[in-house]
A and B are shown apart, each in its own frame.
Chain A
């Protein structure tokens, strides 16, 4: 009977769970999206620049965000932006920068210089080379960076509850204070499943992308 009780919470609190779940998806999604928008172009810029100190400076800064304990980072940002969703998104965004940047950089770095030289020698303009040769070749790396980042941003996002950022974390905290064990477990399981589903979908996407850069080529 008690086992059954643990399951019934899904039924009884479904509206809450779904509401918080969608908040959670939004939080993680927007953070990763922002992370991509900043980190991918930054990665391209870094690979193109010949200025050494710019590379090391950027990597060091993004690395620092990575090493600040998450709660401390949240607290620090909260002192500036106050409590709420913005703070949570800001923190998660900062966390996502490093892994996406690193993978983007590695993706471009992995391209055989001979191939770049060959493209240059055949008369690709720098922009054509970037779009038609370099990005397609770096794409598998970039995609796997996005996937890994998303998975662990989904779990970091639970902490957003601490600063009133919404998401499943809020539900877990509430349940903790009420000692509502079934709800604690139910919302944690939701977060876990979300991470797994995100991993699965992005994994599929990653494969599709690697393939499409081939099949797309086969259309001629």
Chain B
């Protein structure tokens, strides 16, 4: 979606702010740029809407070299949230939010409707806030307006430069959650600058770690936490966070590896016997190749037992939720709690059943850990 190719950026005073940067941001993902102050995050971001032009190299959006697009046109097609919000103090909230649609010459009615829709999206009542000036809003409300202003003309690319940095921790967390929720609906390609690792971990699909004008590591939050490229990355993540994430085993370490399964064409009596044998109250249904199909409980079997022609496939239920082997255990446990399910199937990337995370397996794991800790102390 957004591709930066061999970019260098030298400012007029000779300072080389970006050195040989190549980067790819996927469509519909949030890419977080993170790094210490002055490492070139803002500089890099401004290349994408041509507030900066690269000294060498090129930027492509949807395959098009943006140096060939008129910068004013380009900017109207990209949402932009500036580092310090930058609401226009002399315009009310409605006008602020409607800025880009107005530049794009939408008619008034359409702008008004869009503005109300966006205000509702971030829980600001249009009746109350439409006519207020930015100075009559709290910091958090202003930041919300800053964010929806960038969404107004429904751009497919949005740039956000530390949009939540000026907030207290509680409102910041709220807005982060709102953004994550919003993104699930709107699926934009977002480049998000931050210097807060927790923020990046929370919202990003990909994290780009930068240091003095260079990219140090680019990967999913999981990859960066599990395999920090070097000491700089480790320091930046922080030992505490590393421990917290790395100390937690993936589901694959905890799950039952050979769960009890049947194939869909088995009869009920036969299945019942397997369950009896293994002392389980439900059984996983997979096809011959081990693709997950669903599950059947002992109660389902009892209910349908009279009819001899009934097969497992006629009474099975499918799973709504599965986890993959790399999912951290904590996340899986939270999921089980939330969904109130006794177990979760673990599927690999090919959709094949790898194992089953059950309450029993969790207890077993925790027990063994506890044991080894005690032994360590003695």
Q: Mark B111-143, 1 if CB is under 8 A from A, else 0.
A: 110010000000000000011010000000000
B92/A217 in contact, CB under 8 A: yes
Residue contact A117 to B86, C-beta cutoff 8 Å: yes
Contact B95 A217 (CB under 8 A): yes
Can you list 19 residue pairs at the A/B interface with Cβ under 8 Å? A115-B88, A117-B82, A118-B82, A118-B87, A121-B80, A122-B75, A122-B100, A122-B103, A122-B149, A123-B72, A123-B73, A123-B75, A123-B77, A123-B100, A123-B103, A124-B72, A133-B88, A214-B92, A217-B90
Within 61-92 of B, Cβ neighbours of A (below 8 Å) are at: 72-77, 80, 82-92
Shortest CB distance B77–A (Å): 8
A182 interfacial contact with B, CB 8 Å: no
A136 at the interface (CB under 8 A from B): yes
Look across to chain B and name the residue whose beta carbon is closest to the beta carbon of A120. B51
**Residues 178 to 207 of chain A near chain B (Cβ within 8 Å):** none
Residues of A within 8 A of B84 (CB): 114
The residue on A at minimum CB distance from B84 is: A114
**A137 & B76 in contact (Cβ 8 Å cutoff):** no
Residues from chain A with Cβ under 8 Å of B49 in the complex: 121
By the criterion of a CB under 8 Å from any partner CB, how many residues of chain A are at the interface?
21
B92 contacts A115, C-beta separation under 8 Å: no
- Contacting residue for A120 out of B75, B87, B131, B149, CB 8 A: B75
For the complex, would chain A's binding face be called helix, strand, loop or mixed by DSSP majority?
helix
Complex partner residue of B89 from A115, A117, A122, A124, CB under 8 angstroms: A115
Report the bound CA distance from A118 to B131 in whole Å: 21
In B306-345, which residues have CB < 8 Å from any A CB?
A: none
On chain B, the residues within 8 Å of A137 by CB distance are 89-90
Among candidates B76, B90, B130, B131, residue contacting A136 with C-beta atoms closer than 8 Å: B90
Interfacial chain B residues near A117, Cβ < 8 Å: 51, 82, 86
* Contact code string A106-128 (vs B, CB < 8 Å = 1, else 0): 00000010110111111111001
Which chain B residue lies CB-closest to A121? B80
Contacts of A115 in B (CB 8 A): 86-89
Residues in B with CB closer than 8 Å to A124 are 72, 103
Assess whether A218 is interfacial by the CB under 8 Å rule.
yes
For the complex, what is the distance from the CA of A93 to the CA of B62, rounded to whole Å? 57
Which of A121, A123, A136 contacts B82, CB < 8 Å? A121
- Name the CB-closest residue of A to B83: A114
Closest 8 A/B residue pairs (Cβ): A118-B86, A123-B76, A123-B75, A121-B80, A217-B91, A118-B82, A220-B94, A114-B84
Please give the residue numbers on chain B whose beta carbons come within 8 Å of chain A beta carbons, in ascending order.
46, 49, 51, 72-77, 80, 82-92, 94-95, 98-100, 103, 108, 111-112, 115, 130-131, 133, 149, 159
Report the minimum CB–CB distance from A213 to chain B (whole Å).
5
Cα–Cα distance between A180 and B90 once the two chains are bound (Å): 54
- The distance from the CB of A121 to the nearest CB of chain B, in whole angstroms, is 4
**Chain A's nearest CB lies how many Å from the CB of B279?**
65
Contacting pair B89 A220 (CB below 8 A): no
Would you give the shortest CB distance from B234 to chain A, in whole angstroms? 34
A148 to chain B, nearest CB (A): 22
Q: Are the C-beta atoms of A214 and B90 separated by less than 8 Å?
A: yes
Q: Which among A112, A121, A128, A220 is the interface contact of B98 at CB below 8 angstroms? A: A220
B75 A114 Cβ-Cβ under 8 A: no
How far in angstroms is the closest Cβ of chain B from A140? 10
Tell me the complex Cα distance, A118–B51, Å: 10
Smallest CB-CB separation from A111: which chain B residue? B89
Taken together as a complex, chains A and B put the C-alpha atoms of A114 and B42 apart, in Å, by 13
Q: Give the complex CA separation of A218 and B77 in angstroms.
A: 26
Contacts A121-B82, A122-B80 given; does A218 touch B131 at CB 8 Å: yes
Per-residue CB contact flags for chain A residues 10-44 toward chain B (1 = under 8 Å, else 0) read 00000000000000000000000000000000000
Known: A114-B83, A128-B103, A220-B111. A119 touches B88 (CB 8 A): yes
CA separation between A112 and B89, bound complex, in Å? Answer: 10
Q: What chain B residues lie within 8 Å of A118 (beta carbons)?
A: 80, 82, 85-88
Please report the C-alpha to C-alpha distance between residue A124 and residue B115 in the assembled complex, in whole angstroms.
Answer: 19
Q: Write the chain B residue with the least CB distance to A115.
A: B86
Q: Mark A132-147, 1 if CB is under 8 A from B, else 0.
A: 0100110000000000
Type the 1/0 row for A29-64, where 1 means its CB is closer than 8 Å to any CB of B.
Answer: 000000000000000000000000000000000000
- Indicate if the CB atoms of A114 and B82 lie closer than 8 Å: yes
Give every chain A residue within 8 A of B112 (Cβ-Cβ).
220
Residues on B with C-beta less than 8 A from A133 are 88, 90
Query: In the assembly, what is the distance between CA of A136 and CA of B103, in Å?
Result: 17
Complexed CA–CA distance, A128 and B75 (Å): 14
Q: Nearest Cβ in chain A — how far from B149, in angstroms?
A: 8
